[in-house]
Chain A
């Protein structure tokens, strides 16, 4: 293998890994605040679809990008609201959001564009691809630092470990969890924007393809730390890149198997991680 081939492989790994990375950072934030976030998939879908839709109508991809992030945040807010104010089971709420978002996007395609499966081509921000990759990595470092060193980081962790103790210290766990869930939605939404307007210039059904769940695996395998999750997300990106590189080069291996590679890796990683890593103590538990 030549050096240039390795470099292009690594570059592809960064690009493929970034949407997973962004969503996993959201996952880390909401889970450290105490909300199980299996809605990352739905939030990415909502972000990607909204970004393409808004970009199509405004003809301004930047407004589309901001809109995608905002819609992701709104979905995250709904999850947070259901989990905190209504005390809905977080897994059920997250699953519901995933179904509504994927179904809603498929419905929206027919309703708005009168065609199933894919939007027309829309104005994109392909030039922002690499800045977004770098932003994601910087964000991981900043969040790592903020969680351990800032008052808001300490309070967020306290809410995920023992919301009753946080309450006794004058913190409002419901507000913290709601905010964390909304920010998580925004980050996952940005991951969706990256796919729809950064890498491509459209939204198509199934384009998220389980990346939200892979991000969740990255959260767990990264031990609920921003840098850990980011690192694992980029490894998943590398597996996707490898799959691209090997496609068609190994005749005896079915291409379906190669495409399944990142998912198989996520499964194996989770099997290895299960039981060994401890999630935040109050994660998934409604408060009060």
Chain B
């Protein structure tokens, strides 16, 4: 995972550690915090290193103060001094601007507040260095600002902060130094003032950001036709069509019928109306862990899921050698970074898992592709790979339905955009003439 990495974080500084998914950032953080051990090398800690995890490591069914004082409970005789514990949480919260109700049950709290609880828990242990692993991945823009103002307060108090991220905006807005990790090695380390955003991005990827194939005008035959579609409770009277070699973008606020539309097209939900579509279809589902993969299975087995017949070359049994060859083809073409195709998928970073899912959907050149938030939660390099492959599939003549909650993604890829709100289409934008304001208004129309 990591190879001869050295890293220092000083008191009072914000040090950004950047790199693509799978570069080894989280591993490095876990080693520094003492949760994993390194094969060789030394770690010198002046004081405690606290780690705020990417997926918060809280105990959901305990309340806030119980999580914070666990292991070092204030006592009154044999019992926990609950008054002191609550006061401790409140005082700490006031000092760092982390306002939380000490008696709230963690499982009832939204992600932004949970992160505050995890910060409080680490701060309660007086760390000299605090490592934040992808702290903004699940936060709204307001919460991100709030988080960095807390981090600034920490550094004023002499705590060093190591922020792991792949969002370059955050690096340049808040950090003093940046270290770039690529494939387990340090490839760049400089004060932020002495480096440009472009240099950091190139160091992360190890070259130029892959360029996206250009859009060529299409006038293919219609291959997907939906007439008067209705899914109870989600969609009413929806009609659309997609031509060969066309990406149809669906813009909308989450929960306005996109899932039902994708599921009906994929054949996963009962519907009324007509759907005409090719039998050969590639699906990139919206929830990777829930619908797309079995994390404990190997890459080979996951690459086969849903394509067992293709893997068996039409025979009744699975041809292991062919399945491995196909998995290798996906891994190579879609740049899935893994040590072995026999490793459990769970050992890969999210971005690399997603590349395998995208590869599985596209490798057989299906005539129709459903892509639902295909780049949610993955980094620049992986996003560029996925975008490039979707456009390449389009240029080969595939009809693609792209559902995305990111307007930038829709604008970059779509030939045509329809806006969905409350289960019906509210507007259509053709010929790549996309009006951001108009689309935004239609998204919230009723």
Contacts and interface: CB of A to CB of B under 8 A. Distances in A.
Contact of A158 (B62, B72, B78, B79): B62
Interface string A135-157: 00000000000000111001101
Contacts of B71: 155, 166, 169-171
B80 interface: yes
Contact of A164 (B57, B62, B67): B57
A36 to B, nearest CB: 17
Give the dominant DSSP class at A's interface: helix
Contact of A151 (B57, B58, B61, B75): B75
A287 B102 CA distance: 29
B78 A161 contact: no
Given A149-B79, A151-B80, A166 B61 contact: no
B99 interface: no
B79 A157 contact: no
B342 interface: no
A158 B70 contact: yes
Contacts of A126: none
A281 interface: yes
A165 interface: yes
A243 interface: no
A247 interface: no
B58 A165 contact: yes
B80 A171 contact: no
B3 interface: no
A165 B59 contact: yes
Contact of A168 (B57, B61, B82): B57
Contacts of A164: 57
B145 interface: no
Nearest to A151: B73
A259 interface: no
A182 B181 CA distance: 48
A161 B60 contact: yes
A161 B107 CA distance: 12
Interface string A161-183: 11011101111000000000000
Given A166-B70, A170-B72, A149 B80 contact: yes
B66 interface: yes
Interface residues of B, number: 18
A288 to B, nearest CB: 11
A151 B60 CA distance: 18
Contact of B70 (A150, A154, A280, A281): A154
Given A151-B73, A151-B75, A154-B73, A165 B57 contact: yes
A169 B70 contact: yes
Assign chain A's interface to a size class: 10 to 19
A165 B73 CA distance: 15
Given A155-B70, A157-B62, A170-B72, A162 B79 contact: no
A107 B80 CA distance: 48
A171 B61 contact: no
B35 A158 contact: no
Contacts of A166: 59, 70-71
Interface centre among B62, B70, B72, B79 (most CB of A within 10 A): B70
Contacts of B57: 162, 164-165, 168
B80 A281 contact: no
A193 to B, nearest CB: 28
A161 B71 CA distance: 15
A154 B61 contact: no
Contacts of A157: 62
Interface in B15-61: 35, 57-61
A276 to B, nearest CB: 16
B61 A281 contact: yes
Interface centre among A154, A161, A170 (most CB of B within 10 A): A154
Nearest to A167: B35
Interface in A65-102: none
A14 B94 CA distance: 52
A161 B59 contact: yes
B61 A161 contact: yes
Nearest to A152: B78
A158 B111 CA distance: 20
Contact of B59 (A149, A158, A170): A158
B73 A161 contact: no
A27 B71 CA distance: 24
A197 B66 CA distance: 42
Contact of A161 (B62, B80, B82): B62
A171 B67 CA distance: 13
Contacts of B78: 150
B180 to A, nearest CB: 28
A154 B68 CA distance: 12
A281 B66 CA distance: 16
Given A149-B80, A158-B70, A165-B67, 16 more contacts: A149-B82, A150-B78, A151-B75, A151-B80, A154-B66, A154-B73, A155-B70, A157-B62, A158-B62, A158-B66, A161-B59, A162-B59, A165-B57, A168-B35, A169-B71, A171-B70
**Closest 9 A-B residue pairs measured CB to CB?**
A169-B71, A151-B73, A170-B71, A169-B70, A162-B59, A161-B59, A149-B79, A165-B57, A165-B59
12 contacts: A149-B80, A151-B73, A154-B73, A155-B71, A158-B59, A161-B60, A162-B57, A164-B57, A165-B58, A166-B59, A168-B35, A171-B70
Interface of B: 35, 57-62, 66-67, 70-73, 75, 78-80, 82
